[in-house]
Structure 1
């Protein structure tokens, strides 16, 4: 469509052109966005595989019966909840991987995007207790990808016609760009509700959380002046995030590059799942044409791929009515995103009785203030031999503080589940059952009972820190085998 077709006729041509330039997305940016999106989906799948049984089967920590009790109706809208068997989960993950690979190379791109979105939502709904903001943003980006010509460049689906039209603009491009900016702007508003960020202490608190810090995070945790500077720089970037669409040319490229660099820094310091990678993926769509022109000059073979493909005319081009419906749907979804975020911020009052899950509070990461305590689980369990082990790790039970609290969790999804279990007794019951059965399936020395404790160490930036423990419950194991 025309670069100015989105703007109402009552707006002057100069303003129409200015708005179109800011909301248009270069097709090469969309191609990079597609490739990175597919890569993140594959990374997400790979990271889920070790916990396939634990998180997505009836033998795990969340059987379908418990899911149906805690989230009525969710167990019937997830393909992954059709069966509690591990082999079914494996087949669905394989299907998701095939769809992601198809998206990666740009073959049947829209269909691959749709299948990837359906299977991603399905596995997320199967266990909502292991999700974080990165999971929410990933499905949002896939959703907006449905309305965009992701396969028009660097793809098997690329056509000659797309090579003559360097950018695309419409409700979907506005929706994608608004989605990215909303994440940062919403987080900035929430952060400003606590003075800890303006004081420069918030990032210091974050890096004192042993259950979050990894790799270089443990190295820089004691660099107070640096962390204070990072705090103020990050708040400043969040406050200026609307400039991601206001600026153009190299100035926009520089700001987008700064955000991408910040997220790559998170990958090297914090265990927060795929969120940094997903965020960097969304930002790729914001790089303006000057960046891709410069890259094309230096990488001529890559640029030539833009016109190589199957030559298929997209269905929306063959059926104009579908294109109009898609644009209208994208516009409606953009309105929904803006309203739900406004409700989540308290700017607009939600109708009485609206469930919290329908008001968007997905972007409150470390806001209004970061957690002020490190915590970890202890699971002392009795064996038939009289010995005690930690049911979570399988090692002899040791009550001393771990050197790194992050070592108590296999990954961030386990940390999220255990955090939710602190306030939900039914999750603790199913967790204890899983721990008992996992041990008794593989050991001659049976487990008879397990206790769940949470240890909390409140952060003190200037003084000693003490550990407090709370017992969450004691659970007897079921039938115990005395031999395999």
Structure 2
């Protein structure tokens, strides 16, 4: 090859190299960001389990509001596939909670990371299938994040696995096998379909929600955030302290819309622009966690933003935590011996290599499916007949408070009557007025109770209402016997005769109150 030919080849290679570098900066993820994401994911999984455990009997056992027989009628596929339907006893469900908790801890620590992620994914899917009536968008997002993370090298850095390999660098052989492709040392990023899937999932959620919000009236008019904070059932720990200033709340509405429409820059931009946008979104989600009772959605969304922070952020993080990180590494090195020379050889190694080779293919297929499905959700793409025959994508979108937030404050009356005429709140356990007015209604104890009960006001299906009333009879009986909250244990004859559940809706603008009885059941003989 002549000098001129070599120069021409080099000239052609430079644009291609620049394109690859640009794509790596936008669709690649710093391995330290993946490590931080892994830790955040483990913490969110633990928080989710802890919050669910408060209602373990109520929502996941045969003694609760959704016994396995009721689930089998409502969701036959979920009943067949969920491991949590193997037994309806509280101890069996609690055992699965403990296993899921151990897997989440292992994931956060980066111990047998891929196995821990796989176990977490299976048990999370099983738990969600056990009671689909208490789920929200945060649960869907969490499941998809764990699934996407399973395909990424989450244990390549800041992990027990990295210490055991004696290689804490981003481009070691294990990292290459796990990721499908690890960018070279110059970029220091994990790149490939798996990383692109993880980043695209988050961007798709924001863009889809932005489009849905514009289809309503309250968001374009700047009224949505004010309406949300008028809903007392959504108030979190600091929700009642939000100032009722229309100008401030209108600015918050337009500010959140602006962030949603800027969300494509999470992928299209790089460096400080991406870091600033991800940081602003993360701060907004954490503020929601303090002011709104929306389950794990806020903290899950915050965890999802961690992979977007670029290398310079993690350089600074490493400098700050270097002393503590060094001590933890020394502790891990003493506690966890490196694998033997023969580990990973033979048939097991061959299986792992084939599985690693399949990861980019699986991730690429899922990436295409993600984009296509959300196109159908938004109505931009017509659903093929095989999809439309089993599901309506437009009913499964990212429609958080979209197209408009509710304008009715949803409250509940759950009243148990004892043999001597005393009345007990069957959800909270304290005594209530003998003639309990609708104005005495209360917000739901948890976000999951709200998700479970509010649809029953519109469709009080006896197949679901009867088990609910039976559970509330038992719950109220426990309160009356002195095992619950408040002073219900002082109620004379503690035998519960009946339970009545009503949904109360209060218009946030004119105060008009609407009461819908969900059901009344006798507790005699229980």
Work out whether the TM-score is over 0.5. yes
2:157–2:170 CA contact under 8 A, matched in 1: no
2:452 to 417, 428, 434: 417
Q: Does 1:394 align with 2:436?
A: no
For residues 77-92 of structure 1, the aligned pairs below 5 Å read 77-92=81-96
Secondary structure in 2 matching 1:194: coil
Q: Does 1:125 align with 2:171?
A: no
One of 464, 468, 477 as aligned partner of 1:427: 464
> Are the aligned partners of 1:207 and 1:221 in contact in 2 as well (CA < 8 Å)?
no
Unaligned runs of 5+ in 2: 1-12, 172-187, 482-492
CA distance in 2, matches of 1:255, 1:110: 30
- SS class of match (1:198): coil
Residue 9 of structure 2 is matched in structure 1 by none
Offset at 1:450?
A: 2.2
Q: Which moved more, 1:332-341 or 1:250-259?
A: 332-341
Question: Considering only aligned residues, what root-mean-square deviation do their CA atoms show, in Å?
Answer: 2.5
The residue number in structure 1 matching 2:193 is: 171
Provide the residue aligned with 2:362 in structure 1: 329
| Kept in 1: contact 2:192–2:360 (CA 8 A) | yes
Q: What does the per-residue CA deviation read over 1:329-368, in whole Å, with 9 as the maximum and x for residues that have no partner?
A: 1111112211221111111222344344766724100000
Shift of 1:170: 0.9
1:453–1:401 Cα change, 3 Å: closer
1:439 positional shift = 2.7
What SS is found at the alignment partner of 1:375? strand
Distance between the aligned counterparts of 2:275 and 2:194, measured in 1?
Answer: 21
Residue 377 of structure 1: SS of its match in structure 2? strand
Q: Distance in 2 between matches of 1:329 and 1:164?
A: 22
Specify the alignment match of 1:3 in structure 2: none
Contact 1:316-1:322 at 8 Å conserved across structures: no
Contact 1:393 1:408 in 2 (8 A): no
**1:477 equivalenced with 2:526 (yes/no):** no
Q: 1:319 to 1:440 in 2, by over 3 A?
A: closer
What corresponds to 1:59 in structure 2? 63
Tell me the residue number matched to 2:496: 447
Of the structure 1 ranges 254-263 and 354-363, higher mean CA displacement relative to structure 2 is found in: 354-363
Q: Quick one: distance in 1 between partners of 2:170 and 2:199?
A: 23
Aligned counterparts, 1:375-390, within 5 A: 375-390=410-425
Match status 1:363 vs 2:398: yes
CA–CA separation in structure 2 for the residues paired with 1:298 and 1:268: 27
Structure with larger Rg: 2
- CA offset at residue 409 of structure 1? 2.0
| 1:316 Cα offset (Å) | 8.0
2: CA distance, partners of 1:328 / 1:359: 28
Structure 1 equivalent of residue 74 of structure 2: 70
The 8 Å contact of residues 316 and 323 in structure 1, kept in 2 or not, is answered as no
For 2:365 and 2:216, locate their aligned partners in 1 and report how far apart those are by CA, in whole Å: 33
1:269-304 Cα distance to aligned partner (Å, 9 max, x none)? 100011111111110011001111122233333665
Question: How many angstroms does 1:438 deviate by?
Answer: 2.6
Q: What is the Cα deviation at residue 233 of structure 1?
A: 0.4
Report the CA distance between 1:198 and its aligned residue. 1.4
Change (3 A) 1:297 1:63: same
Q: Is contact 2:424–2:476 with CA below 8 Å preserved after alignment?
A: no
Q: CA deviation at 1:375?
A: 1.5
| Mapped partners of 1:38, 1:164: distance in 2 | 21
Which has the larger displacement, 313-322 or 215-224? 313-322
Go from structure 1 to structure 2 and tell me whether the alpha carbon gap of 1:236 and 1:447 turns closer, same or farther (over 3 Å shift). same
Taking the aligned partners of 2:100 and 2:392, their CA distance within structure 1 comes to 26
Q: Does the 8 Å CA contact 1:439/1:446 hold for their aligned counterparts?
A: no
User: What secondary structure sits across from 2:55 in the alignment?
Assistant: helix
- 1:274 and 1:73 mapped to 2: Cα distance? 25
Q: 2: distance between equivalents of 1:27 and 1:446? A: 60
- What's the CA shift for 1:160? 4.7
Q: Residue in 1 aligned with 2:208?
A: 186
Deviations 1:194-247 (A, max 9, x none): 131111100000000000012322111512211111100000000110001111
TM-score of the two chains, using structure 1 as the length reference: 0.90
Determine if the alignment matches structure 1 residue 254 to structure 2 residue 279: no
- Write 1 or 2 for the structure with the bigger share of helix: 2
* Aligned residue in 2 for 1:372: 407
How far residue 16 of structure 1 moved from its aligned partner, in angstroms, is 2.6
Distance 1:354 1:449 in 2: 43
Equivalence for 2:250? 228
Shift of 1:29: 0.3
